[in-house]
Structure formats: structure tokens, C-alpha cells
Structure 1
Amino acid sequence: MAISDAAAATGRPAHLIDNAHPARSGLGAAASTELGSDDTGAWRRGLRSTVTIDRRTTDALPGGWPVPAGDHAGVTVLDLGLDADGRAARTVDRAHTVVVCRPTVPGVRLTEALLDQLGDQVVVAAVGAGRWPGEVAASSGPRLRALRLAGRVVAVPIERRLEVTGLTGRPLPSSVQAAGHALLVLLGSRRPGVAPTSVTTTGRGSLPGASR
């Protein structure tokens, strides 16, 4: 949501697709306007400013991704969650990838395992304090250490309001907005002057339900 809102703030349309099971989606109240289900019945659509949000309506995985409305030439953000069905490997060739993790020893170990499966166009969103405990830094693998040294790990602060209410139609806290902007800038940095057209986020290494 933070990346999508950051794109919208620059005047670009954004399409956010939530792959989570309907019972686990954190975006149920994130839209300010609900538009109902698409023609397939597999996706429910809502609007949040210029962000189009699609989330699953069924237990079964849809056969394809929802089609954005109109002439979409902005940013598509595909939230894979915990990626239990392995879609990250199938989308990485056409997308930048954001790996969401917690700066804990188990979190960075799981993140390193996922980074080994992904390509080079990766940014890490670390949900928690910007300064990592020594045990966490020491447990980081070579790929995660290299990303930190390259400035491609962004701290996403934990905000008490979001912990209590979850995502709503209200604007995100300014600190989370800033993190979303930083991620969007990094995602476009491999092609200077050109916004990424597809961003994939996966939560392997994060806590269930902690996705922002």
C-alpha cells in the first residue's frame, strides 16, 4: 500500500493486487470506494484516490491476474504475501521485487533463502527499527549484507495506529509514506527517469498479517 500510495502521490495511476486468501487480506478496508467483483467473480475491486485495489474473493487461486481499468500506464504492485504457491519465481523476470522481512535472526535467515531464488532487481523492506541488533546483522547472509551496503534495504517503521486499526481509507502515517517513497525511488533506480511498471512484493521472512 505504501508503494502504491507513493506512486499515486506523483500523479501516476497505481494498480495494487492482493494475492492473499480473502480471510487473510489486510486490504479489506483500505479502499475508500468499493466497485464490486469483476466479470470472473475472482477479484473484488476498490478505489483509493488514484490507486485501484483488487483482492481475491474465493478460496481457490484465480487462474490469472485482474486487468486494470482504462489505459493503465502507471505502476502495478503485486502483493504475493507469503508466496506459498511459488508465484515469485514465475513473476520475477518481468518485475522488480520487494522482499518484506522483520529484522530478527529467523527473519533474515528466511530472507536470505528467498533472495537466493530471486534475480538482481530486489529491494528489501525491513519492518521495524532502522538500527538492527548485532545478532541480526551477524546472522545476515551475503546477499542481504550486499543489499544493505548498497542502500537497498529500507526501514518501514511500525506505527501504533496501523497495528490497532489495520489499513483503512485514511492516509498512511507520514513515516510509512516516506518509506513507500524511498522504496519506489529504489525500484526505479535501475532505469533512471523511468518508473517501474511492475513491482512484486513477497512477505517470506515477515510475520503473517504484518504486510503493509
Structure 2
Amino acid sequence: PAAPRGPTATPGSSPQPCSAFPCPASFLIGIDAAGNPCRFTELGNTGHGWRRGTRDRVLIERPSHGALTPADLPIPPESDLNLSVVDVARPAGAVLATESWLRELLVGGEPLLLVTTATMPGLRRLETTLALLADHRNVSSAVVAVLGPRLARWPGQVRHSTGPRTSALEETGRLVAIPCDRRLAVTGPDTAPLPSAVVAAATTALELMPAADLKSPAAPFSARKGSTPR
């Protein structure tokens, strides 16, 4: 996810109010699908192509209608919250291929958190994504959350799947292992407290990310194309 106005946060664990913008092609993936729907408070349409709801202290804004391509996503509204998270929820290649605010956010140098798994396919996809993004932006400050065991406990096959860009991030301490939790794997995040080990790992990732200052995730794009919804 690219994160304007600050680094990323986990729904239900944020120390401060924050907003999240899931941008999936389907409503069934990404932040929008996390957790038990009964724990989600629906606030209704914003009138600008987004539906708004809350989960704990997280304001979640998701598209009112399906968006098959990034260009189909409506311009996000401005926010006065100190932290916004955009869940890209699409392959980087698909985002880069289409002119949209999501593409400009991804290539514009805003704080970037990539998420993968500690598996051979996961690390190969990570290296491919880093190489693709490196043609458009500096990826040396990206943070990678890796779901799985501590890096020192990776199996040899997984370790050998690490590419040069991934290794460079590891050398600067920008790979963060996120421990697997059986309950979360089944239920997803909800209003129950997150496991302390998960919170500690997420805090580490948060502290590694630089801050930004955008009123909207689409601010650079809106400056060229027109005003941002309020």
C-alpha cells in the first residue's frame, strides 16, 4: 500500500484516528473484507463515489461501485486525519499501465509498504515488484512486511529466493517479519485486541516509514485534473 500523510497502520490497532482507502477490483479483498462485517459500522455514501464506515478508530472509505481498472476509481475525499492508508490491492503492473491517481501515488515517492509472504513465490513476486517500481521511483526507502517466521529462521529455499533489491532492503533493516496468528488467519482483523507480537512488528514497520503531507491520496493527480472532493 502507498500511504499518504504518514506511514501505514493496522485496522483496530492504530494509536490515533486514521483513514483507510481500500482500492480492490473486487470488494472481497484487501482492508475492505477484513474482519467480521458485524463489527463494522456503516456510515453510508459520501456522494463522491465512496462509501464510508468505521472499525474501531479507523475510518474506512471504499468505492461505492466496482472498479475494474485503477482509472475507474473515484477521486478520494480530503481528510483532516493525521494518517491515511491506501490499500492498492492490485498488481503493480496493472496500476502502472493506466493513468490514474493511484498510479501517481504509487510512483510519486510517497511512503510505500509492500506486503508478501516468507515463501519462494512470495519473495520472487516481491523482487519482480521492486524491479518494476524501480523504473518509476526510488524503492530504497520502501518497507516490506513479510508474513512468516523471523528472517533468521527462513528455510534455505526461501533464503535463496531473495533477489538483489530485496537483499538491499534487508541490509538496511527494512524487511519486517510479521508473525502468523491462527485466529487472525481465520477471522481477519476485528475489534478484538491484536496479538502483542503482531502489534510489535507493525510498530517496527510504522517507525521505519517516512512521513508525508497530503490532504488527499489523490492530491498530485487532482492538481492537474481538477479539484478533490471535500
TM-score normalised by L of structure 1: 0.76
Determine helix, strand or coil for the equivalent of 2:108: helix
- What letter corresponds to residue 56 of structure 1 in structure 2? P
Give matches, 1:84-99, under 5 Å: 85-86=94-95, 89-91=103-105, 92-99=107-114
Alignment pair present for 1:23 and 2:45: no
Asked if the contact 1:75/1:196 (under 8 Å) is kept, the reply is no
Runs of at least 5 residues in structure 1 that lack an aligned partner in the other structure? 189-194, 201-212
Percent sequence identity over matched residues? 35
State how far apart, in whole Å, the 2-side matches of 1:159 and 1:105 are: 20
Runs of at least 5 residues in structure 2 that lack an aligned partner in the other structure? 2-7, 97-101, 218-230
- What are the Cα deviations for residues 160-187 of structure 1, in whole angstroms up to 9, with x where unaligned? 1111112223332222221221111000
Change (3 A) 1:170 1:36: farther
Shift of 1:3: 1.6
Determine helix, strand or coil for the equivalent of 1:55: strand
Change (3 A) 1:6 1:142: farther
- What letter corresponds to residue 66 of structure 1 in structure 2? P
Determine helix, strand or coil for the equivalent of 2:154: coil
Question: Who is 1:64 aligned against?
Answer: 74
More strand by share: 1
Shift of 1:99: 1.0
Alignment pair present for 1:187 and 2:209: yes
Equivalent residue pairs, number = 188
Determine helix, strand or coil for the equivalent of 1:116: helix
CA RMSD of aligned residues (A): 2.7
Give matches, 1:104-183, under 5 Å: 104-118=119-133, 119-120=138-139, 121-130=141-150, 131-183=153-205
